[in-house]
């Protein structure tokens, strides 16, 4: 039997960097501009093309018996009145759950089932959000500093962006009169 050697990674709790850095993905607005409901605002912001979020994953074998884990940072900001957010995805292996531990910042986690049932729960420092099997998930930064969270999920879960790239998600999170407001997505 060949065993995987136990090992540590570290989160720099001041700068929220993973050490060692792992595999990083940076998403700019141009990677997901058609997901924002206000397409005119998205087009305007494309000139600047801000970095919306980045995430860094610890390298482990992507098998059912391993646990992938990563740290994601969503920058503060809005496209029109809709807050910066991740693309959102189902897992390719749909029957796999995930846990998000929020380390810093404030936000909302927008979830939905393949049938379109929606659920939105808060994220704040110390919240442990449970994403049950089958639920698509997207995170939204509603605060004025980065939203940072640590996620753990089954190694073979994978990402399925397909239907969300086509029609985004049922609920949107916008600022209305200085407050965070959850609304039906008019384009869904
Ligand atoms: C993976 C987990 C997170 C997200 C990351 C970026 O299952 O849910 O690591 O991948 O927050 O979001 P997205 O929607 O672009 O993959
Ligand atoms: Zn996931």
Give the nearest ligand 1 atom to 153 CA. 7
Asked if residue 2 belongs to a domain, the reply is: no
Asked if residue 21 belongs to a domain, the reply is: yes
Give the nearest ligand 1 atom to 74 CA. 11
| pLDDT tens by residue, the chain, 188 residues | 999 999 999 999 999 999 999 999 999 999 999 999 999 999 999 999 999 999 999 999 999 999 999 999 999 999 999 999 999 999 999 999 999 999 999 999 999 999 999 999 999 999 999 999 999 999 999 999 999 999 999 999 999 999 999 999 999 999 999 999 999 999 99
The CATH number of the domain holding residue 14 is 2.60.120.10
- Which residues are CB-neighbours of 175 under 8 A, at least 6 positions away? 78, 81, 83, 142, 181
In a 10 Å sphere around its CB, with 0-12 CB exposed, 13-18 middle and 19+ buried, how is residue 80 labelled?
A: middle
Could you tell me if 125 and 103 are in contact, meaning their C-beta atoms sit under 8 angstroms apart? yes
Asked if residue 120 belongs to a domain, the reply is: yes
Residue range of the domain that includes 14: 10-184
Nearest CA residue ID for atom 14, ligand 1: 88
Please state the pTM of the whole predicted model: 0.97
**Count of domains for the chain:** 1
Asked if residue 48 belongs to a domain, the reply is: yes
Asked if residue 20 belongs to a domain, the reply is: yes
Could you tell me if 133 and 168 are in contact, meaning their C-beta atoms sit under 8 angstroms apart? no
Quote the CA–CA distance of 164 and 170 in Å, as a whole number. 10
Angle at 84 (CA atoms; ends 78, 77), nearest 5 degrees: 40
105 is written with which tokens?
Answer: 């910042």
Asked if residue 5 belongs to a domain, the reply is: no
Question: Ligand 2 center to residue 40 CA distance, Å?
Answer: 29
Asked if residue 65 belongs to a domain, the reply is: yes
Residue that has been written with the tokens 């049932």 in this structure: 117
The number of the ligand nearest the C-alpha atom of 135 reads 2
Asked if residue 104 belongs to a domain, the reply is: yes
Q: In the chain, what is the straight-line distance between the N-terminal and C-terminal CA atoms, in Å?
A: 50
């Amino acid at each position: 039997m060949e065993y995987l050697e136990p090992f540590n990674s570290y989160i720099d709790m001041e700068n929220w960097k993973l050490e060692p850095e792992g595999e990083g993905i940076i998403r700019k607005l141009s990677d997901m501009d058609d997901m924002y409901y206000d397409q005119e605002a998205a087009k305007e912001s494309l000139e600047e093309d801000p970095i919306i979020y980045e995430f860094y994953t610890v390298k482990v074998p992507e098998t059912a018996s391993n646990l992938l884990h990563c740290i994601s940072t969503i920058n503060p900001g809005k496209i029109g009145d809709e807050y910066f957010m991740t693309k959102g995805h189902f897992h390719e292996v749909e029957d796999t759950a995930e846990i998000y531990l929020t380390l810093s910042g404030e936000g909302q986690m927008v979830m939905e089932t393949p049938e379109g049932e929606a659920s939105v729960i808060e994220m704040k420092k110390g919240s442990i959000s449970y994403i049950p099997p089958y639920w698509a998930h997207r995170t939204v930064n509603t605060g004025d500093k980065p939203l940072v969270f640590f996620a753990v999920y089954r190694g073979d879960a994978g990402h399925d962006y397909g239907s969300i790239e086509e029609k985004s998600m049922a609920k949107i999170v916008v600022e209305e009169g200085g407050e965070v407001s959850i609304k039906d997505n008019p384009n869904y």
